[in-house]
Chains A and B, each alone.
Chain A
Amino acid sequence: MVTNKFIKLCTLLMLLIGMQANAELRIVVDGGVEEPTNIAVVPFGWDGDNALAENISAIVANDLRRSGMFKLMNEENMLSSPETQEQIFFRDWRISGNDFMLVGSMKPTANGVKATVELFDILTEKKIWSQTIDSSGSDLRDIAHYIADEVFQKITGIRGAFATKVVYVTVQGRGAARKYRLQMADSDGARPQTILASKEPILSPTWSRDGQKLAYVSFETNRPAIYIQHLSTGKRQKVQSFKGINGAPAWDPTGNKLALVLSKDGNPEIYVLNLQSGGLVRITNHFGIDTEPTWSPDGQSILFTSDRAGRPQIYKVAASGGKPQRITFNGNYNSRGRLTQDGRFLTMVHQDASGYHIAVQDLQSGRLDILTTSRDDESPTISPNGVVVMYATKLRGRGVLAGVSLDGKIKFTMPSSLGEVREPAWSPFLN
């Protein structure tokens, strides 16, 4: 067992060292399912003269490992490196304990690279999936994530979410040298790029459902304002701002409306802004704090945090307004809800005697599960396939991102090379 664990540790370390140098976040898996699916991702062949910019099969393997649902065969233990079905001796792979294997090859073409991949069920020796993908050669990481998504779906039945993006806020420096950045990266932390850099705070980034736009709060003019930024062009617009709070933007499913928080009438209330007509409708009317709106997937209702009963709890109100109905009752602090795409599960920040944790409530049964044990957890965001909640926490006093599966079994942290990291927002499916 010790040897086994040691090998696993070595594999992990090797992979981490070998991971893309351009990532500011890397991923360390802390736990996984009790009986992960064993899979061998055989290094893909490459016929070209110069080495490819990315190691596709390694990225696929990392994605699957990071999901916590797979145990990847150590490359060094592989007896052969088949690239096609004809080269596979299934018996060898069966003996080494694998359930599935992925083989593939990369070939140069006139205008890029062609990848051919095949996924096999080792027990039945049947091909489950195969595909040939043409690439310009500049999108190799996208291809790798696409392959990982397909493998994940073929085996688990759940749509993969590796080919997605995450935005987050980093903070570096102190005092006058403090720099806030809104960053966007692949879901594995690779290819980070800066969306906005500012000396003033940036918070509450959120994706439109079509993945084309972000909304966020920026203090760049020395007061809070909500901005909408188009990702393809970089063009952005400032949403009409008012005295007081302009915060917590949330897109409705159509992308035509934005729920937001304004305190122009004295204290924080939820409003819905029609982005086409400019019409503004006040949804809540209470002297307590109403904030952190989020839409139900059908766009019919808005969930929000309110301290109207004394302590922060999550309420639900019709998107057109009306009488809010309280939906969290476990404990005396539940805030910043986010729903899964099927509307069934609500993740939130839940406080108990040991601190602020990420919790999930099954809205059908009312059951609440506390998913994390760290003390400073906040800003939960759910992967578009509803499998993982990413959130912000503290690791040795520094802000980092972490993730936990909705069943609590899979955990990972994303240590950063860039100061404090916070406010993650997971994109919707982008393809």
Chain B
Amino acid sequence: MKKLNTTKARTVAKFASITLAALLVVGCSSSGTIKDDALDADGSSATTTGANNGSQITGVNSGNVGDLQSVYYFDFDQSVIRSSALNDLSLHAQFLAENSNAAVRLEGHADEQGTREYNIALGERRAQAVEQFFVGRGVSSSQIDTISYGEEKPDVSGLATKSRRVEVKYTAK
């Protein structure tokens, strides 16, 4: 996945719509210096698993949607949703699709590497990846607000692996 031809991946990202392939918006090929992160693409590494194994919820409603995982981590310079995130993200999507009055704000973030405005763009790509996932599962785009903070609000831990994230925040349930 990491070695996807960049141009091809982007073309796919631009024209495909709903499938997971559409989410393979590869920002840039990851540089060799970030090996540790490359390994945890499936969320299995100890550094990022904390909240990444997903909840055990199966049927979702306004009472338990808050128990779903709300922070989703990303690989260096990537905006590909990790497979470990799919279960809970699908449940968020299901809830939003079934409750048209519910609304969500997707906040995209980047780590501190690279320039600030570029990282704003990168954070937006991540938020958009989640947005596209939701829309692909029947959520109306009017229920979704995306915003990118770039590297301006790093995770309190200061860890780059925790800062590259999208936070799902309900503004109405």
A interface residues, Cβ below 8 angstroms from B:
174-175, 201, 203-204, 219, 222-224, 244-245, 247-248, 261, 263, 267-268, 287-289, 291-292, 305, 307, 310-312, 332-333, 335-336, 349, 351, 353, 356, 376, 378-379, 423
Residue in contact with A378 in the complex, picked from B6, B27, B115, B153, CB distance below 8 Å? B115
Residue numbers in B under 8 Å from A248 (CB-CB): 117
Q: In the complex, what residues of A have CB within 8 A of residue B14's CB?
A: 287
User: A-B pairs with CB below 8 Å: how many?
Assistant: 90
Give A189 to B81 CA distance when docked, in angstroms: 44
B69 at the interface (CB under 8 A from A): no
Apart from the given pairs A219-B149, A245-B121, A311-B29, 11 other A-B contacts in the complex at a CB distance below 8 Å = A204-B117, A245-B120, A248-B117, A268-B120, A287-B13, A292-B115, A312-B115, A349-B114, A351-B114, A376-B112, A378-B115
Q: Are A291 and B28 in contact (CB under 8 A)?
A: no
Bound-complex Cα distance A223 to B114 (A): 22
Contact B124 A201 (CB under 8 A): no
List 17 interface pairs A-B (beta carbons < 8 Å), by A numbering: A174-B156, A201-B152, A203-B116, A224-B120, A244-B124, A244-B146, A245-B148, A248-B117, A263-B124, A267-B124, A287-B14, A289-B125, A292-B118, A305-B115, A310-B29, A332-B31, A349-B115
Residues of chain A within 8 A of B156, CB atoms compared? 174-175
* Alpha-carbon distance A37/B156, docked complex (angstroms): 48
Q: Is the CB of B29 within 8 A of A289?
A: no
Chain A residue at minimal CB-CB distance from B13: A287
Q: Are A289 and B118 in contact (CB under 8 A)?
A: yes
Q: Given A307-B27, A310-B29, A379 and B116 touching (CB < 8 A)?
A: yes
Q: For chain B, residues 144 to 173, give those with C-beta under 8 angstroms from any C-beta of chain A.
A: 146-150, 152-153, 156
Q: Kindly provide the distance from the CB of B157 to the nearest chain A CB, expressed in whole angstroms.
A: 11
Is B124 touching A378 in the complex (CB atoms < 8 A)?
Answer: no
Binding site for A on B (CB under 8 A): 6-7, 10, 13-14, 27-29, 31, 33, 112-118, 120-122, 124-125, 146-150, 152-153, 156
Closest 6 CB pairs of A and B: A201-B152, A289-B121, A248-B117, A336-B115, A268-B121, A310-B6
CA of A351 to CA of B28, assembled, Å = 14
Q: Establish whether residues B117 and A247, one from each chain, have CB atoms under 8 Å apart when the complex forms.
A: yes
Residues of A within 8 Å of B124, CB to CB, are: 244-245, 263, 267-268
| CB neighbours of B125 from chain A (8 A) | 267, 289
Residues of A near B13 (CB, < 8 A) are 287
Partner of B115, one of A223, A224, A261, A335: A335
Nearest CB in chain B: distance from A230 CB, A? 24
CB distance from A157 to the nearest CB of B (A): 34
Output the least CB separation between B105 and chain A (Å). 9
> Complex formed: what's the CA distance from A28 to B156 in Å?
30
Cα A287 to Cα B12 with chains together (Å): 11
Which residues of the partner chain A approach B116 to less than 8 Å between Cβ atoms?
Answer: 203-204, 378-379, 423
Which residues of A lie under 8 Å from residue B31 when comparing CB positions? 332
Cα–Cα, bound, A351→B112 (Å): 14
User: Are B120 and A335 neighbours in the complex by a CB distance under 8 Å?
Assistant: no
Chain B residue nearest to A336 (CB atoms) is B115
Q: Which chain B positions have C-beta within 8 A of A376? A: 112
Residues of A within 8 Å of B117, CB to CB, are 203-204, 247-248, 261, 291-292, 305, 336
Which listed residue (A222, A263, A291) contacts B118, Cβ 8 A?
A291
Q: Could you tell me the distance in whole angstroms from the C-beta of A304 to the nearest C-beta in chain B?
A: 10
Q: Indicate whether A307 sits within 8 Å of B28 (C-beta atoms), given known contacts A201-B153, A203-B152.
A: yes
Q: Which of A174, A268, A305 has the most CB of B within 10 A?
A: A268
Instruction: Kindly state the separation between the CA atoms of A169 and B6 in the bound complex, as whole angstroms.
Output: 35
Q: How far is the CA of A17 from the CA of B150 in the complex (A)?
A: 38
Check if A291 sits within 8 Å of B114, measured CB to CB: no
Bound-state Cα–Cα, A174 to B157, Å: 11
- On chain B, the residues within 8 Å of A201 by CB distance are 149, 152-153
Contact: B112 with A312, CB < 8 Å? no
- The answer to whether A288 and B118 have CB atoms under 8 Å apart is no
